[in-house]
Protein backbone atom coordinates (compact mmCIF):
# COMPACT_ATOMS: atom_id res chain seq x y z
CA UNK A 1 0.00 0.00 0.00
CA UNK A 2 2.88 2.31 0.77
CA UNK A 3 4.27 1.63 -2.72
CA UNK A 4 1.05 2.39 -4.56
CA UNK A 5 -0.50 5.05 -2.36
CA UNK A 6 0.85 7.98 -4.41
CA UNK A 7 -0.09 6.44 -7.73
CA UNK A 8 -3.62 5.61 -6.64
CA UNK A 9 -4.04 8.99 -5.02
CA UNK A 10 -2.56 10.70 -8.13
CA UNK A 11 -5.07 9.08 -10.47
CA UNK A 12 -7.93 9.98 -8.13
CA UNK A 13 -6.91 13.59 -7.69
CA UNK A 14 -6.33 14.12 -11.44
CA UNK A 15 -9.72 12.64 -12.16
CA UNK A 16 -11.78 14.22 -9.35
CA UNK A 17 -9.91 17.48 -8.80
CA UNK A 18 -10.57 17.43 -5.06
CA UNK A 19 -7.83 16.14 -2.71
CA UNK A 20 -10.44 15.27 -0.09
CA UNK A 21 -12.52 13.24 -2.48
CA UNK A 22 -9.36 11.73 -3.93
CA UNK A 23 -8.35 10.53 -0.49
CA UNK A 24 -11.75 8.99 0.05
CA UNK A 25 -11.52 7.18 -3.28
CA UNK A 26 -7.94 6.07 -2.57
CA UNK A 27 -8.97 4.69 0.81
CA UNK A 28 -11.90 2.93 -0.75
CA UNK A 29 -9.57 1.49 -3.39
CA UNK A 30 -7.24 -0.06 -0.86
CA UNK A 31 -10.10 -1.26 1.32
CA UNK A 32 -11.74 -2.97 -1.61
CA UNK A 33 -8.42 -4.43 -2.70
CA UNK A 34 -7.87 -5.68 0.83
CA UNK A 35 -11.31 -7.26 0.92
CA UNK A 36 -10.95 -8.80 -2.55
CA UNK A 37 -7.34 -9.80 -2.28
CA UNK A 38 -8.30 -13.47 -2.42
CA UNK A 39 -9.89 -12.90 -5.81
CA UNK A 40 -6.70 -11.37 -7.27
CA UNK A 41 -5.54 -14.00 -9.75
CA UNK A 42 -2.01 -12.73 -10.19
CA UNK A 43 -2.09 -12.88 -13.98
CA UNK A 44 -2.04 -9.08 -14.04
CA UNK A 45 0.13 -6.62 -12.29
CA UNK A 46 -1.05 -5.52 -8.88
CA UNK A 47 -0.69 -1.94 -9.98
CA UNK A 48 -2.97 -2.53 -12.93
CA UNK A 49 -5.55 -4.09 -10.62
CA UNK A 50 -5.36 -1.13 -8.26
CA UNK A 51 -5.61 1.29 -11.19
CA UNK A 52 -8.63 -0.55 -12.42
CA UNK A 53 -10.39 -0.21 -9.06
CA UNK A 54 -9.45 3.44 -8.74
CA UNK A 55 -10.56 4.28 -12.27
CA UNK A 56 -13.93 2.57 -11.76
CA UNK A 57 -14.54 4.37 -8.45
CA UNK A 58 -13.62 7.73 -9.96
CA UNK A 59 -15.79 7.30 -13.03
CA UNK A 60 -18.71 6.15 -10.88
CA UNK A 61 -18.34 9.13 -8.61
CA UNK A 62 -18.10 11.52 -11.50
CA UNK A 63 -21.16 9.99 -13.07
CA UNK A 64 -23.12 10.46 -9.85
CA UNK A 65 -22.17 14.11 -9.29
CA UNK A 66 -20.82 15.58 -12.44
CA UNK A 67 -21.79 19.25 -11.92
CA UNK A 68 -20.48 19.53 -8.40
CA UNK A 69 -17.26 17.78 -9.29
CA UNK A 70 -16.71 20.04 -12.25
CA UNK A 71 -16.89 23.15 -10.09
CA UNK A 72 -14.46 21.84 -7.52
CA UNK A 73 -12.14 20.28 -10.02
CA UNK A 74 -10.46 23.40 -11.31
CA UNK A 75 -9.78 24.74 -7.83
CA UNK A 76 -8.38 21.42 -6.66
CA UNK A 77 -6.06 21.03 -9.62
CA UNK A 78 -4.75 24.57 -9.26
CA UNK A 79 -3.69 23.73 -5.69
CA UNK A 80 -1.67 20.67 -6.72
CA UNK A 81 2.07 20.93 -5.81
CA UNK A 82 4.20 22.75 -8.34
CA UNK A 83 7.65 21.76 -9.52
CA UNK A 84 10.38 22.93 -7.13
CA UNK A 85 13.63 24.72 -7.88
CA UNK A 86 14.79 27.07 -10.65
CA UNK A 87 14.88 30.80 -11.15
CA UNK A 88 11.94 32.95 -10.04
CA UNK A 89 11.03 33.97 -13.56
CA UNK A 90 11.28 30.46 -14.83
CA UNK A 91 9.31 29.20 -11.82
CA UNK A 92 6.53 31.63 -12.52
CA UNK A 93 6.35 30.60 -16.12
CA UNK A 94 6.47 26.93 -15.17
CA UNK A 95 3.81 27.43 -12.54
CA UNK A 96 1.59 29.16 -15.04
CA UNK A 97 2.20 26.43 -17.57
CA UNK A 98 1.38 23.71 -15.05
CA UNK A 99 -1.80 25.46 -13.99
CA UNK A 100 -2.86 25.73 -17.61
CA UNK A 101 -2.07 22.07 -18.08
CA UNK A 102 -4.11 21.08 -15.01
CA UNK A 103 -7.07 23.06 -16.29
CA UNK A 104 -6.71 21.52 -19.75
CA UNK A 105 -6.69 18.00 -18.30
CA UNK A 106 -9.69 18.80 -16.09
CA UNK A 107 -11.62 20.05 -19.08
CA UNK A 108 -11.15 16.81 -21.00
CA UNK A 109 -14.07 14.46 -21.24
CA UNK A 110 -13.88 11.80 -18.54
CA UNK A 111 -13.31 8.86 -20.88
CA UNK A 112 -10.38 10.69 -22.53
CA UNK A 113 -9.08 12.13 -19.29
CA UNK A 114 -8.67 8.75 -17.62
CA UNK A 115 -6.72 7.44 -20.60
CA UNK A 116 -4.33 10.43 -20.60
CA UNK A 117 -3.84 10.20 -16.85
CA UNK A 118 -3.09 6.50 -16.93
CA UNK A 119 -0.77 6.79 -19.92
CA UNK A 120 1.04 10.12 -19.74
CA UNK A 121 0.99 10.73 -15.99
CA UNK A 122 1.16 7.19 -14.62
CA UNK A 123 3.02 5.55 -17.51
CA UNK A 124 0.78 2.55 -18.07
CA UNK A 125 1.11 0.63 -21.35
CA UNK A 126 -1.74 0.53 -23.81
CA UNK A 127 -2.51 -3.03 -22.89
CA UNK A 128 -2.62 -2.21 -19.19
CA UNK A 129 -4.97 0.68 -19.83
CA UNK A 130 -7.20 -1.52 -21.96
CA UNK A 131 -7.23 -4.14 -19.20
CA UNK A 132 -7.87 -1.62 -16.43
CA UNK A 133 -10.70 0.10 -18.26
CA UNK A 134 -12.01 -3.03 -19.98
CA UNK A 135 -11.59 -1.39 -23.41
CA UNK A 136 -10.34 -2.52 -26.76
CA UNK A 137 -6.75 -1.59 -27.60
CA UNK A 138 -7.86 0.44 -30.60
CA UNK A 139 -10.34 2.37 -28.43
CA UNK A 140 -7.54 3.23 -26.03
CA UNK A 141 -5.32 4.38 -28.89
CA UNK A 142 -7.97 6.59 -30.49
CA UNK A 143 -9.14 8.10 -27.17
CA UNK A 144 -5.57 8.84 -26.22
CA UNK A 145 -4.79 10.50 -29.52
CA UNK A 146 -7.90 12.70 -29.37
CA UNK A 147 -7.13 13.67 -25.80
CA UNK A 148 -3.60 14.70 -26.74
CA UNK A 149 -4.86 16.74 -29.68
CA UNK A 150 -7.27 18.54 -27.31
CA UNK A 151 -4.46 19.31 -24.92
CA UNK A 152 -2.20 20.53 -27.74
CA UNK A 153 -4.84 22.97 -28.91
CA UNK A 154 -5.43 24.30 -25.40
CA UNK A 155 -1.76 24.62 -24.60
CA UNK A 156 -0.71 26.03 -27.96
CA UNK A 157 0.63 29.28 -26.55
CA UNK A 158 3.05 27.37 -24.33
CA UNK A 159 4.41 25.19 -27.12
Partner 1 sequence: MSCADNRLLHSALLDGELAPAERAQVEAHLATCADCTAELAALARTLGMLHALPAARAPLGFVDRVLEAARPMPWHRRLGRRLFQPLRVKLPLEAAAVVLVALGAVYVFQNTPELQQAARQEQPASGPVPVAPPVPVAPPATPAPATGPAVSGTPAPPASTLAEPSQPAAKTDQVEQVERKERESALSEEAPKKRAATRERRSDSSDASPGATNLMKDAAPAPPPAAAPPPSVSPPPIAAAPPSEGAAVAPPAAPAPEARDKRAARSRPQAPRELEGARPEDKPGELSARAPQIPARLFVAPDASGRLTVGDRAAAERALAELGGRLGVAQAFRREEADGALIEWMVPREVYPEFVRGLAGIGRWTADREPASLPPRVRLQIRVGS
Task: State phi, psi for 104 to the nearest 5 degrees.
Answer: -65, -40
Degrees, nearest 5: CA angle 19-7-74:
35
71 near partner 1, judged by CB under 8 A:
no
Applying CB under 8 A, which of residues 95, 97, 103, 111 lies at the interface with partner 1?
97
Could you give the 3-state DSSP secondary structure of residue 50?
A: helix
Q: Does 141 sit near partner 1 (CB under 8 A)?
A: yes
According to CB under 8 A, which one of 9, 50, 106, 118 is a site residue for partner 1? 9
* Segment contacting partner 1 by CB under 8 A, of 41-49, 51-59, 74-82, 106-114: 74-82
Nearest-approach distance from CB 155 to partner 1, in angstroms: 6
Helices (H), ranges, the chain: 5-16, 19-35, 46-64, 66-78, 88-106, 110-116, 126-133, 137-154
Question: CA-to-CA distance for 106 and 63, rounded, in angstroms?
Answer: 15
Q: Name which position in 67, 81, 88, 89 contacts partner 1 (CB under 8 A).
A: 81
Q: Say how many C-beta atoms besides its own lie within 10 A of residue 11's C-beta.
A: 27
User: What residues line the site for partner 1 (CB under 8 A)?
Assistant: 1-2, 5-6, 8-10, 13-14, 19, 21, 23-24, 26-27, 30-31, 34, 64-65, 68, 80-84, 97-98, 101, 116, 119-121, 126, 141-142, 144-145, 148-149, 151-152, 155-156, 158-159
Amino acid sequence: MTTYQHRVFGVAVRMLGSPAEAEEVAQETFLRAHGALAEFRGDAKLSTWLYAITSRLCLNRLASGEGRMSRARAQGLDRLPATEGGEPGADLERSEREAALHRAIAELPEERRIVVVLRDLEGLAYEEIAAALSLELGTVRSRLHRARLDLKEKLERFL
